[in-house]
Structure 1
Amino acid sequence: MEEISFEARLLHTPYEKPDAYNALAMPVYNSAAFEFETAEAMEAAFLGYSADHTYSRITNPTVQYFETRVRAITGATGVTALNSGMAAISNVMMAIGFAGGNIVTSSHLFGNTYSLFKMTLAAFGVEVRFCDLKNTEEVRKQIDENTFALFLEVITNPQLEVADLKQLASICLEGGIPLVADTTVVPFSVFHANEFGINIEVVSSTKYISGGATSVGGLILDYGTFDWSKSRVLAPMAERFGADAFTVRMRKEIHRNMGAYMTPQVAYMQTLGLETMSLRFERQASTCLELAKRMKTLDKIESVNYTGLKDNPYYKLSTVQFGPLPGAMLTFDLASKDACFAFMNRLKLICRATNLFDNKSLIIHPATTIFGSFTEEQRVSMDVSPKTIRLSVGLEEVEDLFNDIKQALYS
């Protein structure tokens, strides 16, 4: 049979075991534990000699099927589903990090990721080294024998900065460290992380995948492309498991000890959401691009930031890496914080809410919400301006969204 499409792989991924009633949708296995026929079978499952499920904090049939479908459409060798995007990031760092080690990254990070690196991990002796990831020489200078990862967001939130992934992957290869990337802003259907040298991908599945903000979840994807013998932590495991050393440690130790595994109810909802992700993304991102173009004509908006606009400084690189529709999120600047608040309070259709890529369009003022607990000095260093508004574009008609924006600006 010829190579089948993304959608066909997604929709026709078989169950690990036949369903007793031939259900087309994977049932929700709302069970904490699973019975064994013999003590020997129980021993084999607990020691990893069989793939039988033991306890739903470790594995669950419904969650496993969600992971299998993600693996089928991405080519990842290992997929771990957790209960949030932040759980995915923190579990990755716990799997590869160590006291005295350091992470090289950008200060252009989502607020909680910044806080995790700068504050939470610091208590465990981990250093974070912020630099301009667009400056390859600066990145090289930050990497040393104690660096255990280079981390970035492929399109930063909310700055919408884009770094050259293949250049960074080359630097990581030279330095013997994995490239870890948060790809939440662009879905698997248009962005193929492995093609750009990303070794470990993290995703907030709450966003595009959940199918309209039905549930909170996160994913870790291991592409099996990093030589873990170069990792101070995973080198011993690499002797036995080779390229699978990361996923083995994640599955056998980190995620089960941290207790952040996805629940079967969430996995069921996100499996359904995964089936319509491509269609929703195409509609949302197309609307986002058209809306960005129209918003640039409004004189009360100082600037519109979307990397799909031809005059955006990252347009060329963004198009190479993500195609013509780089996500369904844009930002724009008004005259002041007060102008932002007044505008948001006059909106009638667009919802004032956090989250991204809901079916409804959502708007937020990042400086006073996501980054509200940071000092003004920190916000400046992160390029989070009080004049900036973030808009996540939903499934509404572009005309309705544009009219709502116009009336809120000029009423």
Structure 2
Amino acid sequence: MKEISFESQVLHTPFEKEDAYHSLSMPVYNTAAYEFDSAEAMEAAFCGYTSDHAYSRITNPTVQNFENKIRVVTEAFSVTALNSGMAAISNALITVAYSGANIITSAHLFGNTYSFLKNTLGAFGVEARFCDLTNPEEVSSQVDENTCAIFLEVITNPQLEVADLKKLSAIGKEKGVPLIADTTVVPFNIFKAKDFGVDIEIVSSTKYISGGATSIGGLILDYGTFDWKRSSKLADMTTQFGNGTFTAKLRKEIHRNLGAYMTPQVAYMQTLGLETMEVRYERQTQTCLELAKRLQSLKEIESVNYTGLKESPFYKISNAQFGSYPGAMFTFNLSSKEACFSFMNKLKLIRRATNLFDNKTLAIHPASTIYGTFTEEQRQSMDVSSKTIRLSLGLESVDDLFNDIKQALSQEIF
């Protein structure tokens, strides 16, 4: 049979074991433990000699089915499903980091990611080196023998900055440092991270995959492309695990010890969401681009920022990496924080809520919410403006959304 499409693969990836009742949907295995036929079989499962499930904090059939679907469609070496996007980020970085190490990254990060790198890891002796990731020379100059990763968001939230991934990957390969990327803004049915040199991909499956914000989850995809003999922390494991060393460290130690594995209920809901992601993404991103263009015509709006607009300074590199529809999120600036609050309070259709890529369109004022506990100096250093509104586009009619925005700006509807 010829190679089939993304949407067909996610629908028809077979179960690892045939279901006793021939269910078309993987059942939800609401269980903590599993019985074994013998002590020998139990030993083999717990020591990892077989793929049998031992305990649902470590593996679960429903979660494994979800992981396997994603592994098949992305051609990843392995996929690990965790209980949030932040859990995926923390588990991935803790797998490679150690006291005295440093991580090359940007100050243009989601608020909790920034805090995790600077404060949480910093307290354990891991340095976050913030630099301009759009400047390869600066990145290269920051890498030293203790650099354990280059980490970035492929489209930063909410600054909407785009770095050249192939250039960053080339630096990583030259210096012996893995490229770890949070790709949540553009899903893997559109963006093939491996093709751009990403070694470890991190996704908040809460977003597009969950199918309308039904559940919280995160994913770590290991493409098996990095030579872990060049990692001072993991080199000793490569004799046994080769290019699968990262996955071995993650699955056999880090995620087991941190206890953040995805639950079967969430895996079931996100498997269903995965099956419709392609069609939802197409609708959401088309609406996103059209609405961003329309908002440029409104006099009350100072600027519109979306990397799919030709006016964006990142349009060319965004188009090369993500195509014509780079995610279903954009930002726009009004005259002041007060104007932003007035606008949000007048919205009738668009919801005032956090999260991204719900089926409903969501508006948030990042400076007062996601970055609300940061100092003004910190917000300025991260280019988070009090004049900025972030929109996450849902499945509504673009005309209805545009009309709601116009009435919230107190502009007459024509």
Match of 2:193 in 1: 193
**Deviations along 1:261-317, whole A, 9 cap, x unmatched?**
000000000000000001000000000000000000000000000010112111111
Q: Does 2:12 correspond to 1:16?
A: no
- Match of 2:402, SS state, is helix
- 1:242-281 alignment to 2 at 5 Å? 242-281=242-281
Q: Give unmatched runs, 5+ long, in structure 2.
A: none
CA distance in 2, matches of 1:144, 1:165: 19
Match of 1:68 in 2: 68
- Match of 2:104, SS state, is strand
Displacement over 3 Å in runs of 4+: none
- Which amino acid in 1 is paired with 2:334? L
Match of 1:292 in 2: 292
Q: State the shift of 1:166 in Å.
A: 0.4
CA distance in 2, matches of 1:342, 1:8: 45
CA distance in 2, matches of 1:403, 1:5: 37
- 1:228-247 alignment to 2 at 5 Å? 228-247=228-247
- Which amino acid in 2 is paired with 1:216? I
Match of 2:209 in 1: 209
- Match of 1:275, SS state, is helix
CA distance in 2, matches of 1:312, 1:15: 44
Match of 1:50 in 2: 50
**Deviations along 1:195-254, whole A, 9 cap, x unmatched?**
000000000000000000000000000000000001111101111110000001111111
- Which amino acid in 1 is paired with 2:320? V
Match of 1:380 in 2: 380
**Deviations along 1:79-106, whole A, 9 cap, x unmatched?**
0000000000000111110000000000
CA distance in 2, matches of 1:136, 1:307: 20
- 1:75-114 alignment to 2 at 5 Å? 75-114=75-114
CA distance in 1, matches of 2:103, 2:309: 32
CA distance in 2, matches of 1:359, 1:192: 24
Q: State the shift of 1:8 in Å.
A: 1.7
- Which amino acid in 2 is paired with 1:190? I
**Deviations along 1:299-352, whole A, 9 cap, x unmatched?**
000000001011211111111100100000000000000000000000000000
Q: State the shift of 1:4 in Å.
A: 1.5
- 1:144-183 alignment to 2 at 5 Å? 144-183=144-183
Match of 2:343 in 1: 343
- Match of 1:36, SS state, is coil
CA distance in 2, matches of 1:365, 1:238: 46
CA distance in 2, matches of 1:277, 1:300: 34
State TM-score, norm by structure 2.
Answer: 0.99
CA distance in 2, matches of 1:307, 1:94: 31
Match of 1:119 in 2: 119
**Deviations along 1:121-147, whole A, 9 cap, x unmatched?**
011000010000011110011000000
Q: Give unmatched runs, 5+ long, in structure 1.
A: none
- Match of 1:280, SS state, is helix
CA distance in 2, matches of 1:402, 1:393: 12
CA distance in 1, matches of 2:185, 2:155: 7
- Which amino acid in 2 is paired with 1:394? G
CA distance in 2, matches of 1:399, 1:238: 56
Across the aligned residues of Structure 1 and Structure 2, the Cα RMSD in angstroms comes to: 0.6
Amino-acid identity (%): 71
- Which amino acid in 2 is paired with 1:64? Q
- Which amino acid in 2 is paired with 1:292? A
**Deviations along 1:137-174, whole A, 9 cap, x unmatched?**
10011000000000000000000000000000001111
